Structure 1
């Protein structure tokens, strides 16, 4: 968890404790507040000490139980402020994959240049509809989220129109492992690799492949996107990280440059993709 995120969570916890101790009806103990809310006492303690992230409903109940319902908007504003940086998949996917994809479409549409590192699957900007459907179904099963793969696929395919707009530039570096991963049935996997072969040479796309045999200056790590050097979105199993401070963006840009230096392009990239394609038994 990022230091800034944890500091913000601890600050919210201090504010919650302040509200409990300054209730207009007199100071409320943590035990009494837990009983009033129907919570375990440990939850009150974890929230106040920044060891658990409150939900909007938690904050509303806290404000009302301490006799200060008017503070809810302030508390919710604090929560939105630091959740801007760490967006848990559990919360994001509560309404399915489609709304998450719509948020991504809005971010991508505003971008002029995207620097992307992808190490575990074919990047969404270049996915076929069938491949994307496999990915959405797998993650819905993992997160136990609503099954809306068809709607999510349509939104993701809409995003790819960005690739055909003048002045846009996708600078995508992929590890060979992303090509090799058997995430879909062989015919879908093969069609996806064929799609990649057709992308090499597009005016708006610079596609680099880091072969297994390439010498790496850094471990493959997690996939991430850099939007116009103004925003980084990085993936993890529990959440997306949305990072917009200059120092952090600079770190991710240096990581991207390290992988770029190990990548092959053009005909060499096609040879790697073709080698993988021949290994897929359709």
Structure 2
């Protein structure tokens, strides 16, 4: 497995830094001369070259001008923006509220025919009830201290459930049993959510597996991740969302999902675990 879920972003940042270093060499100058031409401290150039600081659009334009490579500025800016989107802090994404992020996830689900999800923390969004989503988003908003647009965000999140019924989409989901027993909201909220899981399980678009608490681990519990058509993996951590598009890393997440799927129970056995979690609430 990758050493860190943000390794794709760091590797891409280093690749961009290498391209900027090549511009300096091609211009037959050194980092100090580049810094002088750009009008900033040499320490800034060093941080960018060592991938410890992300350059702004203006920094890249100044860099290219200093190296006589203005024609490469637009391409490097586009690359830099793509790298920046790989690792996004939740507070930055939620700085105006949660609705916009939910709309982005809706578009991602709309484009993907196959979504594979491993959830080790909460019920996935496309399975959530209104009450569960409201309670969860309230907890996240309070923790992050970001603007409250929960009503709009919940509506945007629940809109994803339409893909369970239309458009030829398929959802293969693995849920850790402790997610069924981790209460979000009131007892009634959690009971309603668990009963909703039983309702969606028979849908042709859904394949749901539950990993029992006592399952012998060949793949250790991981952070929640979502695989979209083998083209894009989204990993959710406490502080950030990581977008993985490097084929090697996507392959690792596919392998992990395959291993986790072998630990899961399905059908009547999965329903029994869900019903047991409901009974425990009472």
1:128 to partner: Cα distance: 0.4
- Look up the match of 1:163: 164
- Asked if residue 182 in structure 1 is aligned to residue 183 in structure 2, the reply is yes
* Count of aligned pairs between the two proteins: 270
Cα distance between partner residues in 1 of 2:48 and 2:242? 21
1:12 to partner: Cα distance: 4.3
Cα distance between partner residues in 2 of 1:181 and 1:79? 39
Q: 2:12 aligns with which of 2, 8, 26?
A: 8
Secondary structure at 1:232 match in 2 = strand
Preserved contact between residue 30 and residue 45 of structure 1 (Cα < 8 Å): no
Cα distance between partner residues in 2 of 1:203 and 1:11? 43
Unaligned runs of 5+ in 1: 35-40
- Asked if residue 33 in structure 1 is aligned to residue 40 in structure 2, the reply is yes
Structure 1 residues 156-195: Cα deviation after superposition (integer angstroms, max 9, x where no partner): 1111100001532111110001111122222211111111
Preserved contact between residue 8 and residue 244 of structure 2 (Cα < 8 Å): no
TM-score of the superposed pair, with normalisation by structure 2 = 0.82
Alpha-carbon spacing, 1:8–1:204, altered in 2? closer, same or farther (3 Å): closer
Cα distance between partner residues in 2 of 1:97 and 1:12? 30
Cα distance between partner residues in 2 of 1:75 and 1:254? 33
- Look up the match of 1:234: 235
Secondary structure at 2:214 match in 1 = coil
- Asked if residue 208 in structure 1 is aligned to residue 209 in structure 2, the reply is yes
- Look up the match of 1:38: none
Alpha-carbon spacing, 1:279–1:228, altered in 2? closer, same or farther (3 Å): same
Cα distance between partner residues in 2 of 1:81 and 1:234? 16
1:237 to partner: Cα distance: 2.0
- Look up the match of 1:276: 277
**RMSD between aligned alpha carbons?**
3.1
